[in-house]
Amino acid sequence: MTILVVAEYENGAVAPATLNTVAAAAKIGGDVHVLVAGQNVGGVAESAAKIAGVAKVLVADNAAYAHVLPENVAPLIVELASGYSHVLAPATTNGKNILPRVAALLDVDQISEIISVESADTFKRPIYAGNAIATVQSSAAIKVITVRTTGFDAVAAEGGSAAVEAVAAAHDAGISAFVGEELAKSDRPELTAAKIVVSGGRGMGNGDNFKHLYSLADKLGAAVGASRAAVDAGFVPNDMQVGQTGKIVAPQLYIAVGISGAIQHLAGMKDSKVIVAINKDEEAPIFQVADYGLVADLFEAVPELEKLV
Amino acid sequence: MKVLVAVKRVVDYNVKVRVKADNSGVDLANVKMSMNPFCEIAVEEAVRLKEKGVATEIVVVSVGPATAQEQLRTALALGADRAILVEAADELNSLAVAKALKAVVDKEQPQLVILGKQAIDSDNNQTGQMLAALTGFAQGTFASKVEAAGDKLNVTREIDGGLQTVALNLPAIVTTDLRLNEPRYASLPNIMKAKKKPLETVTPDALGVSLASTTKTLKVEAPAARSAGIKVKSVAELVEKLKNEAKVI
């Protein structure tokens, strides 16, 4: 059994999500190969070769794979897939964009966002916004799977010494093109990888008030998230959204400030180790999942909290 | 251009679902069903494209049980011109749905297919991408903005770090993110008029589609429940607990 992991990368190195995905591959068992597809990704391949437990790194460095457009990258993965029992990718926006296209080209079902590996063909995944856990079994010759990164502890980024092999195949469907991107800039840790997350909801009142959360987060070394209500109200950009339709986080500590706790939001954070809720409505559903709840006005409680930590 | 929109009948997003005692699935008997929220956004986007003069006809399609006619009627009341129901079993995998949709695409020859990015029941986020693969069309997933630009479609996508814009050749597949638009409500006169709009029912067999699957669900369980927490009285007590009891800061 050999498993192909499609690497997620940023700033010239593999992203943390890749390390969680390799961990899931290791649970399945067998050799783990990592595919790095993109343009000028030599550095990424080098960092992938150092990941503990990776046997081989395949590099497809071609202008067609820049910005990992699925129309071009999916045929590449399909071409490589015949040698593999499993194709895995992290359930990031890239993984979710590409892998279903790969699965359909291979004529197999895809399994989305697994949270555990029961055996080489059986996996658990959440459905209904995390309100039920399904155990699914695949009879596909090549199992195509996205991995919920918070479900698996990352493998070590250093210590491996995999061979790096270039893949010559160039697929350019010529039906899509990258136009531009607008990335949110932040010095804080990445939301899905942060140990502590401070999130604000509609109770923040406006975007300006999020500065209270930013200064608390900076003191804690935390990332800042938001509920859909806060994003829809325009307080913060959408890439900060935690929930079924946003990002899934499972930090050591999640502090929900002015968030009622709708099903949609809970789907994105209820696997956090410790949940703290600060809300002035003592009936808010968030208190049903919070380990520590504080019924208070957030505009008094948050600055005080910042002072005390 | 002709626009095809796929909609799914799912349990209403406000319903707290319960797992069946025999772990065979989720109990959907006597539970409120609605159009999947992401599909509503897809219908709204198609209607807006028609209002802008970009789209000429909107065909709405659902692959599912006979009761999905209700959701198709809703889409017709929102502004779709006609509907197609591919009548099939309740729980289908994404690939089977994508294959049924491919057959409808072959027949209808739309220039644009709009789907929701995911259904809130199965949470798969696969069908649009799979349909794109089967048809060979370009895909603009998780769209928060769609603009027709000549023979291309500019789609702004929500990605992990922010936003990305891609230009797609037509015909293309777009899947909607929540921020694409705010769906309108159907007015009573439009609901009445929708009853007279054409709704065609076909079977997968008639389309020549096999709904066989490589995945089966062995069991469905309730997630591990979180143990009840405590309420603290002050910020000082909260900090003390976090430091000494939970040891997370």
pLDDT digits (tens, 9 = 90+) for A223-270: 999 999 999 999 999 999 999 989 999 999 999 999 999 999 999 999
Q: Give pLDDT, residue B90.
A: 66
| Cα separation values, B150 from A107, B29, B58, B153, B200, Å | 33, 48, 19, 8, 32
Which residues of chain B neighbour A183 with C-beta distances below 8 Å? 161-163
- Calculate the average pLDDT of chain A: 96
The answer to whether the Cβ–Cβ distance between B14 and A107 falls below 8 Å is no
> ipTM value of the model?
0.95
Q: Give pLDDT, residue B244.
A: 92
**DSSP calls for A294-306:** EES-HHHHHHHHH
**How much of chain B exceeds pLDDT 90, in percent?**
91
Other C-beta atoms closer than 10 Å to the C-beta of B202 total: 18
- CA Rg value for chain A: 20
Sheet strands side by side (includes A163-166): A110-114, A143-147, A86-90, A2-6, A31-38, A56-61, A163-166
Measured distance CA(A12)–CA(B179) in Å, rounded: 30
Collect all residues with Cβ–Cβ distance below 8 Å to B222 and sequence separation of at least 6: A131, A132, A133, B18, B19
Q: Give pLDDT, residue B89.
A: 79
Which residues of chain B neighbour A11 with C-beta distances below 8 Å? none
The H or E element that residue B164 is part of is strand B162-169
Kindly tell me the burial class for residue A173, based on how many C-beta atoms sit within 10 Å of its own C-beta (0-12, 13-18, 19 or more). Answer: middle
The answer to whether the Cβ–Cβ distance between A275 and B229 falls below 8 Å is yes
The answer to whether the Cβ–Cβ distance between A96 and B141 falls below 8 Å is yes
Q: Give residue-wise pLDDT tens across range A108-154.
A: 999 999 999 999 999 999 999 999 999 999 999 999 999 999 999 99
Measured distance CA(B71)–CA(A222) in Å, rounded: 43
Give which of A180, A188, A114 is closest to A147, Cα–Cα. A114
Give which of B148, B138, B127 is closest to B62, Cα–Cα. B127
Q: Give residue-wise pLDDT tens across range A187-236.
A: 899 899 899 999 999 999 999 999 999 999 999 999 999 999 999 999 99
Give which of A301, A307, A286, A201 is closest to B233, Cα–Cα. A301
Q: Give pLDDT, residue B115.
A: 98
Measured distance CA(B162)–CA(A70) in Å, rounded: 18
Q: How far is A163 from chain B (nearest CA, A)?
A: 30
Structure tokens of B177? 């993110």
Structure tokens of A6? 């499609």
Give which of B98, B99, B105, B52 is closest to B79, Cα–Cα. B52
| Cα separation values, B122 from A110, A248, B119, B238, Å | 12, 16, 6, 38
The answer to whether the Cβ–Cβ distance between A131 and B144 falls below 8 Å is no
Q: Give pLDDT, residue B161.
A: 87
B223/A contact by beta carbon, under 8 A: yes
> In chain B, which stretches have pLDDT less than 50?
none
B209/A contact by beta carbon, under 8 A: no
The answer to whether the Cβ–Cβ distance between B133 and A220 falls below 8 Å is no
Give which of A223, A221, A299 is closest to A258, Cα–Cα. A299
